[in-house]
Amino acid sequence: MQNNNGVVDQLIAAGAWISEKGWVPATGGNFSVRLADGFIVTASGYDKGCLTEDSFCQFDWQGNQLAGTGKPSAETGLHLAIYQLDLDAQAILHTHSVAATTLSRHVADSQLTIHGYEMQKSLAGIQSHLEAVNIAIFDNDQDIGALADQVKGTYAKQPLHHGILIRGHGLYVWGASVLEARRHLEGLEFLFACELERFKLQG
């Protein structure tokens, strides 16, 4: 796998950082970055804290594998759908933290609304704690094509920003670069942890 101007190194570094946070246990999660003619995504079964250049597969915009010898992640199709929906998304990080997974099951609505936190300004376009951050929640589905269709249907009604939650599964975040996606991930994880504690205090 060619390094494609260092983006593979950026994903490897992101994987080590995210693994250290405990957000991708048991080889869970997957990361990707957009290229001019497709995208690179982590292959299935790799410890995300120990990624190498051999841990990735490359796909075109039709979902055809172009490079990489690993087994494609089952969730590659959802990465493809997000890139097709949001042309500004340059990198996607999918994680499985306790806070994100628990909140996705606790909130019965189709979105989690967060407001009142200064940390909201870590998200691109958010200028104040007074703004509402809405993170859509989708029911989990082992049929990734069906799950991607759910995301596409929601996006057609209202564009999605920063990330989405998959109920009982985890979080997908994206950004205009790997670094921005990392910032969105860390900001959202802080906000999720705060909301989880708030729900506990409410009893």
94 labelled as ligand-binding?
Answer: yes
Distance CA 107, CA 192 (A): 12
In a domain, 13, yes or no: yes
pLDDT level of residue 3 (50, 70, 90 thresholds): low
The predicted model gives 171-188 an average pLDDT of: 98
* pLDDT, tens digit (0-9, with 9 covering 90-100), for 18-45: 999 999 999 999 999 999 999 999 999 9
Q: Percentage of the chain surpassing pLDDT 70?
A: 98
Q: Is the pLDDT of residue 2 over 60?
A: no
CA–CA gap between residue 156 and residue 106 (Å, rounded): 26
Q: Is the residue at 70 inside a domain?
A: yes
Instruction: Report CA torsion sign: 111, 117, 121, 125.
Output: positive
Res. 1: pLDDT tops 60: no
Give start and end residues of each alpha helix (H) in the chain.
7-21, 76-85, 98-106, 144-157, 178-202
Residue 158, in any domain of the structure:
yes
Report the pLDDT averaged over residues 67-94: 94
Q: pLDDT at position 32, please? A: 97
* Parent domain of 43: 7-202
Within a domain: 182? yes
1 belongs to a structural domain: no
d(CA 49, CA 74): 19
- Count of structural domains within the chain: 1
Residue written as token pair 């989990």: 140
pLDDT number for residue 18? 98
Q: Tell me, what's the pLDDT at 70?
A: 87
Domain CATH code at residue 99: 3.40.225.10
User: Which pTM does this prediction carry?
Assistant: 0.96
Q: Which of 8, 172, 11, 187 is closest to 86 using CA atoms?
A: 172
- Res 5: pLDDT: 63
2 part of a folded domain? no
Residues 105 and 167: their CA atoms lie apart, in Å, by: 6
Bridge partners, 138 (sequence order): 166
Is 146 inside a domain boundary?
A: yes
pLDDT, one tens digit per residue, over 124-168 is 999 999 999 999 999 999 999 999 999 999 999 999 999 999 999
Instruction: Round to whole Å and give the CA distance between 43 and 58.
Output: 9
- Residue 162 to residue 181: CA distance in whole angstroms: 8
pLDDT for residue 57 is more than 80: yes
Q: Identify whether 51 is part of a domain.
A: yes
- The reported pLDDT for the residue numbered 106 is 95
